[in-house]
Amino acid sequence: MKFIGQLLFPLVVLASHIVIILEADSTKDYLSIFLTILLAWFIGFVIDKYRASNKQLVISQNHTHQFKQGLQSTLDGIAISDHRGDFEFINDSYYKMYQYREGELTKWTQCYDASMIEWIEANALPLFLENGYWKGELQGRRKDGSLFPQEMSISRIQESNKIICVVRDATEKRSNEQLIERMALHNDMTDLPNRRSLLNTINDKIMRAQRFSLIFIDLDRFKTVNDTFGHHTGDEVIKEIGRRFTPFENEATTAFHLDGDEFVLLKELTAKDRVSDFVEQVLHHIQQPIAIGRNEVTITASLGITHYPEHAADMEHLLKYADFTMYHIKQQGKNSYQFYNDEVKAIFERKVLLEKELKKALQNEELYLTYQPKFDLTTHEMVGYEALIRWNNPHLGQVSPAEFIPLAEETSLIVEIGEWVIENVLQQLSHWKQKGHPLLKVSINISNIQIKHEQFLDTLTFYMQEHNIAPPYIELEITESLTSDDKKTIPLLEAIKSHGVGLSIDDFGTGYSSLHALNHLPIDTLKIDRSFVKDMETTKYGTDILKSMIDIGKNLKLDIIVEGIEKEEHVLLLKKLGCRTAQGYYFSKPLLPSEIEEYFLKKMPVAVNRPSH
């Protein structure tokens, strides 16, 4: 109890003086007894105060011990100093952080080198004195002189001149931040700086008005390496190519890996630099054979080059022009380099205009279809036709499909354009059917991008049902490149085939297709490219090669069509080689639907409609 002494002692005195109290007969006796009891209360009061103080001391000691234990157990370094900076308390973590033993640290200045102390006194201390608080990042110095990053906060302890300092070692945090930053700025395959790093570097050079060349590099036929040897080998090739840029890197030259098989070299320029000599050395290094396991791979590259500030004053156009110049070199034959110039500029500007106009072509009804007939070489009768898209633009005139189809594939407009072709072809067949003309099989060229679109088959079947055209009258012409990955291609083509639609490989012999693939793909027709017809007249083994291709198709029980027939000699030779069907200007150029109807369909006898082979 809090007042036990003040109650107990007076009661004891009162009890011991009860007889005296009863026999007391004067005021003096009562006063003496009262003073005795008062003295007993005072003694009890003193004892109670002592007991309370002692109890409070024990509590304070426990709190102090707990507080000290708390300060010692934290991983952060904690120190308390007086206003002069002399330490009065330091926990174990603080000692370990600075690698001192207990008692060796006395002043805060022992924890920093001279330059850091100067910075603290000039920047941190004024703010602390003004606000009573400061927090920031510093560089600490350990006992052995090594430096480490740290996060620090210092605060004035209220109602005292003491200062508490909390320090955290930021080495791991800084290391993680650097790792994250490196991952964000480097390609994880080659460890070369990536696209983001390239953009930062270009902007920095432009800000400093530093002349430089941007060399855009793309490996030639790299997809063939992946398809032939597998993606693991392809990855090893990319890594090796990345390493081959190392000899060229210095203070003036940096290599970047954008993505896939695309690289960039940035080279600062001086008046004496010959960029062409430098680029030829780069090409030479890239072309050296690469040994990967038992395989040896030789890679070439196409390079497009722009200069700052001659060719463009901003990052976007420098990259765009270099990329386009590289693409231009690929079209010209690959394994070379090209500087951006007026000729490339004109081609680039036309491409930009084409893209702009192509986006409006469908809406403005500038696209139309022609049909090139296919003929039986024995009867010379039309047995089918191929639908061919054409574009007549009011500003550009007649634009070749060889020019606008690749652009449509680049911009994904090919899906929309391809759907328009399918709809219009089936609508035309329906129109001829309604007029009583016999239906013949029509071939439709399909882009790899279009056929892989998730809605392709649904779109095709929808238009066949809408226009009431049976699947056997439709044949889709695909390119050989689609067959390079038969694991993905076969299920796709089998799904199309299950609906009764025919499949043909267009321009056979000019792309990539193996006999193994042909043996497993659900195709009906091989369409041999026109270049082999020309070779019959100009090369020693042209006729033998063409015969071999026809024999391959026949042995695989496929229909054979040869395109590019222009002379009667071609017809006679193809009949001799066993080819049944052909198309070309010898028979007819591509015609408008009205011309097909006028020249051929009206002259054909009305009969039971059946697809030709």
Rounded average pLDDT over 350-365: 93
SS3 457: helix
As given in the structure block, the two tokens for residue 463 are 């238009």
The better pLDDT of the pair 533, 430 is held by 430
On the question of pLDDT at 592 being above 80, the answer is: yes
pLDDT by residue (tens digit) across 259-296?
Answer: 899 999 999 987 667 899 999 999 999 999 998 777 78
- Segments of 205-300 assigned E as strands: 212-219, 253-259, 262-268, 290-292, 295-297
Sequence-distant (6+) residues with CB within 8 A of 579 are 377, 550, 560, 561, 562
| Alpha-carbon separation of residue 246 from 69, 242, 331 (angstroms) | 55, 8, 29
Q: What is the pLDDT of residues 431-477, one digit of tens each?
A: 999 999 999 999 999 998 999 888 999 999 999 999 999 999 999 99
Confidence of residue 92 (pLDDT cuts 50, 70, 90): confident
| Angle value at C-alpha 235, between 230 and 241, nearest 5 degrees | 125
Boundaries of every domain in the chain: 4-72, 75-174, 186-340, 353-603
Query: Is the Cβ–Cβ distance between 117 and 138 less than 8 Å?
Result: no
Distance, first Cα to last Cα, the chain: 114
Instruction: Please give the pLDDT value at position 485.
Output: 63
Other C-beta atoms lying within 10 Å of the C-beta of residue 546: 21
Average pLDDT (177-196) is 83
Select from 3.40.50.2300, 3.20.20.450, 3.20.20.300, 1.10.1200.10 the CATH code of 353-603: 3.20.20.450
Element (H, E) at 81: strand 77-81
Judge whether residue 613 has pLDDT over 60: no
CB 387 within 8 A of CB 421: yes
Q: Which fold has domain 75-174?
A: Beta-Lactamase (3.30.450)
Q: What tens digit of pLDDT does each residue of 169-178 get?
A: 888 887 777 6
Q: How confident is the model at residue 360 (pLDDT cuts 50, 70, 90)?
A: very high
Q: What local confidence, expressed as pLDDT, does residue 12 receive?
A: 67
Mean pLDDT of 414-441: 96
Q: What tokens were used for 233? A: 């080998």
- State pLDDT tens for residues 493-527: 999 999 999 999 887 766 555 566 677 788 999 99
Of the candidates 108, 105, 149, the residue with the CA atom closest to the CA atom of residue 128: 108
The mean pLDDT value for 181-203 works out to 89
Higher model confidence: residue 580 or residue 270? Answer: 580
pLDDT at 608: 44
pLDDT of residue 311: 94
State the DSSP H helix or E strand holding residue 50, giving kind and residue range, or none if neither.
helix 27-73
Helix axes 231-243, 222-229, angle to 10 degrees: 140
State the pLDDT at residue 457: 93
Residue 478 pLDDT exceeds 80: yes
CA 234 to chain centre: 18
Give CA–CA dist 471/473, Å, rounded.
5
> In Å, what is the CA distance from 175 to each residue of 149, 179, 180, 184, 319?
10, 6, 9, 14, 33
In the structure encoding, which two tokens stand for residue 80, read together? 């308390």
Token reading at 56: 């409070």
256 φ, ψ (degrees, to nearest 5):
-130, 145
369: its two tokens: 């279809």
User: Of 15-19, 184-188, 573-577, which one has max mean pLDDT?
Assistant: 573-577
Assigned architecture for domain 186-340: 2-Layer Sandwich (3.30)
Mean pLDDT of 392-412: 93
Question: Percentage of the chain with pLDDT > 70?
Answer: 86
Taking all residues of the chain, what is their mean pLDDT, rounded to a whole number?
A: 86
**Type of residue found at 182:** R
- Residue 542 confidence class, pLDDT cut points 50, 70, 90: confident
